[in-house]
A and B are shown apart, each in its own frame.
Chain A
Amino acid sequence: EIVLTQSPGTLSLSPGESATLSCRASQGFSSSHLAWYQQRPGQPPRLLIYGASGRATDIPARFRGSGSGTDFTLTISSLEPEDFAVYYCQKYGSPLLFGQGTRLDIK
């Protein structure tokens, strides 16, 4: 079974800086099956990126997804205060898999 490993576990940055979040899979799969989510406290996850690089409706352009095969990246440029949250990657399928999450903290 494929395992998704996100790194780092926690990332401490300041507003205005850029964040690079990694999602690495133990086996390669189609990039169309890779999505990224943002979760703020007390809220359900919010879809950010689908198909590894497609931005969901109303998601700001500072969120960019990239990658293929086993290595996927979510880049957030010029961090805004509302971007500090937990981010999950997800592989669709059976089983549907999530990474363990990266917490983006304000430095």
Chain B
Amino acid sequence: QVQLQESGPGLVKPSETLSLTCSVSGGSLSSNNWWIWIRQPPGRGLEWIGDIYHSEATNYNTSLKNRVTISMDTSKNQFSLSLTSVTAADTAVYYCARDGPYNNFEIGHWGQGILVTVSS
């Protein structure tokens, strides 16, 4: 059973870079799956940030594209999110996730989420 766990600072200052890591157990980043970041501002809905496949391909939400980078470290079985020039609007619970396990068009595996607050 794939398990995902987000880690990183819970408080980031405006204009700085938000960096989060997702540690994966029970599965390999080399599998034929997309590894995904999604966020949820307090009291609001879900927003896809982007995803990565085999360290070869990435997709990003166009509304964040100039600020976001998703990368992968297969030796540590971790993937990461970097979001630059953050503002209060980036305050959210950040989830890492993986597609599958049925037809790989759904997201069946989620981390518990980490709340990141942007504030000075």
Contacts and interface: CB of A to CB of B under 8 A. Distances in A.
Interface of A: 32-33, 35, 37, 43-47, 50-51, 54, 56, 88, 90, 92, 94-101
A100 B106 CA distance: 17
B45 A100 contact: yes
Question: Which 3 pairs of residues, A with B, have the shortest CB-CB distance?
Answer: A50-B106, A44-B110, A92-B105
A54 B106 CA distance: 11
Given A94-B51, A95-B61, A100-B45, 10 more contacts: A32-B103, A33-B105, A35-B107, A37-B107, A43-B112, A47-B106, A50-B103, A54-B102, A90-B107, A98-B47
A56 B45 contact: no
Contacts of B110: 44-46
Interface in B82-120: 95, 97, 99, 102-103, 105-108, 110-113
Nearest to A46: B110
Interface string B32-50: 0000100000000111100
A50 B10 CA distance: 32
A98 to B, nearest CB: 4
Nearest to A30: B105
Contact of B105 (A35, A45, A97): A35
24 contacts: A32-B105, A35-B107, A44-B95, A44-B97, A44-B110, A44-B112, A45-B95, A45-B107, A47-B106, A47-B107, A47-B108, A50-B102, A50-B105, A51-B106, A54-B103, A88-B45, A92-B105, A92-B106, A94-B51, A96-B48, A96-B51, A98-B45, A99-B45, A101-B45
